[in-house]
Amino acid sequence: MYCPLFTDSKTRQIRLSNDLAKMLCKMFYTLGLVAAMLSSISAISHDIGRSNFLLVIVDDLRPALGCYGDRRAHTPNIDRLASEGIRFEKAYAQQALCGPSRNSLLTSRRPDTLGLYDFYSYWREVAGNYTTLPEHLRNNGYTTVSLGKVFHPGASSNYSDDSPYSWSRTPFHPRTDRFKDAPVCSGQRSPPARNLICPVRVSSMPTRTLPDIEILNAAKQFLNSNREEPFFLAVGFQKPHIPLKYPKRYMRFHSLRKFVLPDKYEWPINVSHVAYNSWMDLRRRNDVKKLKLRCPWQKIPKKYARKIIRAYYSAVTYIDDLIGQLMNELEMLKIRKNTVIILTSDHGWSLGEHAEWAKYSNFEVALRVPLIISIPNLTFKSYDTRNLCLVSKAIRSQNCRTKASVDECCDDCKMIANPVELLDVFPTIAELAGFPVRSCPRKKSDSIPNLCTEGSSLIPLIEGLLRCQSSSWKNAALSQYPRSTTHPTCTASDDEPRLRDITIMGYTLRTIRYRYTAWVGFSAISKRPDWQEILAEELYDHSVDADENFNIANLDASHRVKSDLKNLLIFQLNNE
């Protein structure tokens, strides 16, 4: 049987195998929703026409969010966004460091292609004149605007956030950025200091505001004056990056009682020290200094550690509130229905896992990021036929009995569990905008085009989910982190080695079930790994060890899995 409603972009009829979908199809048909649905059946890029894009990058945000199942979080606005979009459960940064990760995301090239593992060079000068995501949209008629931290500021974006290439106008940075590290955090019985934990009263801050509030205001202002033209607006919120400075009032959502340390608050056995990062950036803060910890191994006392975790979650609630205001502004201006929203982060953050803090590693907690994509008319509101899958899942789900709309009751069924990479964001947005980019040539050569992607558009995955069909997809997400030494030395270069000091590269592969990591010798000159020199390996089985506490790389029983993953890793590296 053919259902007249199931047609793809070329209006070719598709035979349905799913009985439930057929039933729903009939149901919709008889309900007279046909006209509305037919009008929305066409390729996604046509559906959304000249959509606007709002890319929200939240600095150092791991998925400490309600919609990611984190019960300690209070993030009603991001949760609402997730209910209006597709949530990627396994999304990974390519390197757990702001600059390299952002450059990789915005050019859709791996850190190995850009050769930028630190903050001190500009890809257009050292790697190639690669076209960025905003530049590509700008070349195709979009107004592109950068507010806050989008590119990493400084040398890695030529002290200009890649202007003039990427942006239609000068990127905005908050005036209060210069107070970023000001001693304004009041301790209980101490004068204002440069603390890690830093709840503040906004009215007593210099110029009575905070950088992220300025960024929100700039975004509102832009939206109010640019309703007509298609825009790509990139908003880079700066918290929960340290210092954990946020308006005090957000603490009330987070009683200290809620927060406990991870089950294992210790460095795991059988993991090489090369995997460790000494969280030097935390140690520089006044309050952490006061703890007089022996570097690198002495742990932050549990009592203070819990306070750090609470401060992180409070800062996330603060940003969630600003994101809610941004979404409300789109609604108020009546452009929400015309705006695709993508929310993500540059990498994760350790909150005591492995007795570690910050990013700078190859562990799941440092690499995993939230990724939510909300596409009007496709992932929420006015469901068309492709969403029958969601509708049917929602009808079957418990919550749906009491709640009215699919958006509200279908959180779980709008989740994609395949491993995806931040590299995939560029080609996804490009496809949605109607200007898809092709894949970069598989073999490295002199003639790498300036415009191409090392990722893959997520649209097939999204369409597959909406149609209840599985789609073929890459097996694994690939990330990396460089080191200058095998053992931490408690200098700044431990966590953030400069290019010339890099002697080791940790490559890590995340499949649906495993994480495999290999730390190998690396030449900073040729920027090539030496697989003859494997210094350490790690293997974690996420089906039983989601926190990566048990390295099973050296067990006999792991031999097969490990060598398969190692081969896959080397294959991927050589093929890109």
Q: Which residues bind ligand NAG (CB under 6 A)?
A: 47-49, 51, 124-125, 129, 158, 165, 269-270, 337-338, 376-377, 382, 550-552, 554-555
Q: What DSSP letter does each residue of 181-241 carry, written as one string? A: T-S-B--SSS--B--SEEEE-GGGSGGG--HHHHHHHHHHHHHHH-SSS-EEEEEEE-TTS
Is 487 an active-site residue? no
CB of 494 to ligand NAG, least distance (A): 24
Residue 75: count other Cβ atoms within 10 Å of its Cβ: 27
CB nearer ligand NAG, residue 67 or residue 432: 432
Length of the chain: 576
CB of 381 to ligand NAG, least distance (A): 7
For 111, the token pair is 């850190």
CB 60 within 8 A of CB 359: yes
Phi-psi region of 11 (alpha: psi -120 to 50; beta: other; left: phi over 0): left
DSSP class of residue 168? Answer: S
Residue 8: count other Cβ atoms within 10 Å of its Cβ: 14
Residue 337: count other Cβ atoms within 10 Å of its Cβ: 14
CB 366 within 8 A of CB 96: yes
CB nearer ligand NAG, residue 226 or residue 338: 338
CB nearer ligand NAG, residue 294 or residue 560: 560
CB nearer ligand NAG, residue 210 or residue 340: 340
Residue 50: count other Cβ atoms within 10 Å of its Cβ: 12
CB nearer ligand NAG, residue 248 or residue 381: 381
CB nearer ligand NAG, residue 157 or residue 278: 157
Whether omega for the bond prior to residue 164 falls within 30 degrees of 0, making it cis, is: yes
CB nearer ligand NAG, residue 221 or residue 554: 554
CB of 519 to ligand NAG, least distance (A): 16
- Which residues face 27 on adjacent strands? none
Catalytic residue among 25, 67, 98, 185: 98
Pure H helices in 374-419: 388-396, 406-409
DSSP class of residue 179? Answer: G
CB of 38 to ligand NAG, least distance (A): 12
**CA separation for the pair 41, 35 (Å, rounded):** 10
- B/e letters for 266-304, b = 16+ CB within 10 Å, e = fewer, are ebbeebbebbbbbbbbbbebbbbeeeebeebeebbeeeb
- Parallel, antiparallel or unpaired: strands 244-247 and 350-351: unpaired
CB nearer ligand NAG, residue 317 or residue 428: 428
CA angle 134, 572, 133 (to 5 degrees): 0
Pure H helices in 254-338: 280-283, 286-289, 302-332
CB of 428 to ligand NAG, least distance (A): 16
- Parallel, antiparallel or unpaired: strands 86-92 and 371-374: antiparallel
Is 98 an active-site residue? yes
**CA separation for the pair 317, 246 (Å, rounded):** 9
Catalytic residue among 74, 152, 173, 254: 152
SS3 441: coil
CB of 273 to ligand NAG, least distance (A): 14
CB of 84 to ligand NAG, least distance (A): 13
CB of 128 to ligand NAG, least distance (A): 9
CB nearer ligand NAG, residue 391 or residue 420: 391
CB nearer ligand NAG, residue 546 or residue 555: 555
CA neighbor of 149 nearest in space, from 126, 172, 133, 128? 172
CB of 450 to ligand NAG, least distance (A): 6
CB of 311 to ligand NAG, least distance (A): 34
CB 323 within 8 A of CB 56: yes
Among all residues, which ones are annotated catalytic? Answer: 98, 152
